Chains A and B, each alone.
Chain A
């Protein structure tokens, strides 16, 4: 074995656990979810005969009678319950009512050679059900989920239009997610920057205590911290009871089930991700810079604005990115502390994944969120590169 090759082999082996980890816990799930957003093979696989029979249909006239026979044959040929379940879910998701219709039809077709579907259920003589089937079997790929993720759909002619008012609010929720995350990030900078400066300026046990106060909550479960805020913020909670006891307010101030409560709780939870990067940047700054600025006649405020603040900006930028990215995915805190208008996009994704078992929509929403996050990350990369060049 040549030494060069053995070195490379060694290096590859050392990297193997990392690569295996990345592949199985990052690449594969990501690709699977992205694929589920655009892949729609259920109906094509389950209804091959129907697909052929409906391929030439214009979707406005009565469907050809051969489609009924083909559909009946396809349903009879479906022996796998799970596959049938997938088909039912796919069609019912596009048009409510397919679940009971298909269940009834399958039971009636079982063991009989009937082909007149309309005699099983009158709904089969309506065109709308056939249109849904024709759309489902047209192609194993779809842009339906991606469009629905941003409140768009295709009309009967196939062109992209906005969904009717009130049918979906993903765009609104997406914007809200970004606004809430930005608010939290801003609040974290406002508290985190001075905090990190104080922590970096003191020594010994004082610094340990300050850092401990930031780190300790990190070791506590997110759920526990959120539940604690629930206790503190409620109408008869710690804050309102104190204010009332001091005679400052007559009634309770609404601190919970609104945006304020969500921002307070999320800021607390995410603060360490702001403080730590700023702190690590600050302790690397030579301590004689501020006295040097003062000796040149700079007012402390001016020295701060022109020396310390620009130097700590790198920490702020990376801290802001960490906080913002983490905030985008928040789910439990808005669900427990927030009101109906404070739910973020993760709760919609969770509904599609755990409630409706509609992985296509969950994947599509995740994909849109990922795309926007990558966009922001690109902006961040630009900023930090410029920072280093400067």
Chain B
């Protein structure tokens, strides 16, 4: 019995090693100064998906990512690690999307390319926005159950052939909560968002790397060129897996009003740099007096 799994992944600027030029004078992220990487928690999500693929032969794992042409690198990376392929969701109309518009785009794309998906897995949140909203919103838009803060998929029980339409099966996972973990069960299909403390993703496999290294999305091709113009053009002719799928708003029948900037109610009012300084730290005990004092202070400066 096999599964259809979609992994949601994002290419993000590496905010973990920021230099002095990481922010623009306006306070936004200076994307050109930071290397673009596979969002770390999406790698944890990919690993959970690949473990299911190991366990259930015939399972397909495909990556869905929204972004410019270079974001296809995330799909290639995932293919090196074991994913079958993926789709680059890319269109000027998608640009400037907040979490609402992003989740609309992703959910619309999934309905289009993988309507019979069994499991959608993504990282808890991306390191550039840190919202943790996209996974849950995709679940809402598709009308699926969601499990957030997943540590590990403990079991996946399939109901067997022929029952797929009604109820494919059940997934059992542990999720990270304050002070411990809880084990939850959800019927399939559903959406899981995976924590960074989950198992790290397996490394790139070198044979897969050799096989897929030339895989490209159409948007990555040099301006005005087709696959036939590339070096090793014959390879693209005979190996379809070297052509990474690409989807535009038109391809997935997206409502342009709900996409990109137009579909994003979030407006950034201001961005402030907050620099923590060691001299500003305070030691508090667990006494009622200290706690009262802290609460009053935080209320006074409108933190809470």
- A, B in one complex: no
